[in-house]
Amino acid sequence: MTYEAPPLTLPEALILLTLNPGSGKPLCKAAFLAYGTAGAALAELELQGRIREERGRVQVVNPLDPADPLLAALLRTLPQGKGRRSGRRARSWVGDFDKHVRDTYLDSLVERSLLSRETRRFLGLFPYHRHFPVPPDLVPGLRRRFTLAETAGYPDRRDRILAALVSAIGLAGELTRNGRPGRTAMKVLRRAEWTAVAVHYNVKQKESGGGDGENDGWIGDSGDSSCGGGCGGGD
């Protein structure tokens, strides 16, 4: 019997794509992934025809709840309004709902038995979580699809958005198989996708404001600020 992978929303796909299965941590800082998942949720709502972007603001164009209850709840956080200057600024929403979106989708992946969760304690006091793929592991398949999409020039809109978000959270160099040209291609997509623009803005603000964003109760090491070459939100 052939196993068919369940359909994944963009936030779920981004979490799995950027997961280090060995450590149970993302390849980037937890805070950056939080911004990325928030941007991915907005992108998913746009793909489903619920929202649009106008001059940096998110406008609801179809208030009917999506079939996915998680997306339906997020859609209700966006104000409905008319006019060119109505709506919520995208980068502000990403900055306000980042951890909520990330944790909501992590919980969903655990509930769907696509990830397992281990809770550990730093110094025996401060809890943090690690997440590991549950067989059949979807991470290798997502990585292969990402590589194939890169090779083909990202013909699918979902793949283009994922690549743009990967660049926005600083992981283009980690996930490309095409070196500098691959990073450059993702950077171009990042600048073209408004959700990735909003994510990258928050990543750069976090970098300039200091703090490693690791010790937030999810997968941080509570003192280990090193996370390899994919930590930054740069190019």
Q: What are the structure tokens assigned to 65, written together? A: 């709840």
- Give me the sign of the Cα torsion angle 151, 155, 29, 201: positive
CATH fold for the domain made of 10-207:
yeast vps74-n-term truncation variant fold (1.10.3630)
Q: Nearest-CA neighbor of 142 among 47, 2, 9?
A: 9
Predicted confidence at residue 129, as pLDDT, reads: 92
How much is the average pLDDT of 139-159?
Answer: 97
Q: In degrees rounded to 5, what are phi and psi of residue 42?
A: -65, -40
Predicted confidence at residue 84, as pLDDT, reads: 63
Q: Which residue has the higher pLDDT, 45 or 223?
A: 45
Whether the Cβ atoms of residue 94 and residue 39 lie closer than 8 Å to each other: yes
pLDDT digits (tens, 9 = 90+) for 114-126: 999 999 887 777 8
Strand locations in 101-210, DSSP E? 115-122, 126-133
pLDDT for residue 230 is more than 60: no
Q: Which residue has the higher pLDDT, 6 or 170?
A: 170
Confidence of residue 81 (pLDDT cuts 50, 70, 90): low
Predicted confidence at residue 210, as pLDDT, reads: 54
Spatial distance between the Cα atoms of 165 and 197, rounded to a whole number of angstroms: 9
Q: Nearest-CA neighbor of 44 among 195, 149, 181?
A: 195
Q: Angle CA(11)–CA(14)–CA(19) in degrees, nearest 5?
A: 130
- Give me the sign of the Cα torsion angle 68, 200, 100, 93: negative
Predicted confidence at residue 216, as pLDDT, reads: 52
pLDDT for residue 92 is more than 50: yes
Confidence of residue 86 (pLDDT cuts 50, 70, 90): confident
pLDDT for residue 163 is more than 70: yes
Spatial distance between the Cα atoms of 202 and 31, rounded to a whole number of angstroms: 10
Judged on CB neighbours under 10 Å (0-12, 13-18, 19+), 210 is exposed
Q: Which residue has the higher pLDDT, 102 or 126?
A: 102
pLDDT for residue 149 is more than 50: yes
Spatial distance between the Cα atoms of 31 and 19, rounded to a whole number of angstroms: 14
Predicted confidence at residue 233, as pLDDT, reads: 43
Predicted confidence at residue 5, as pLDDT, reads: 58
Element (H, E) at 60: strand 57-60
pLDDT digits (tens, 9 = 90+) for 20-76: 999 999 999 999 999 999 999 999 999 999 999 998 999 999 999 999 999 999 999
Q: Nearest-CA neighbor of 40 among 82, 93, 79, 4?
A: 93
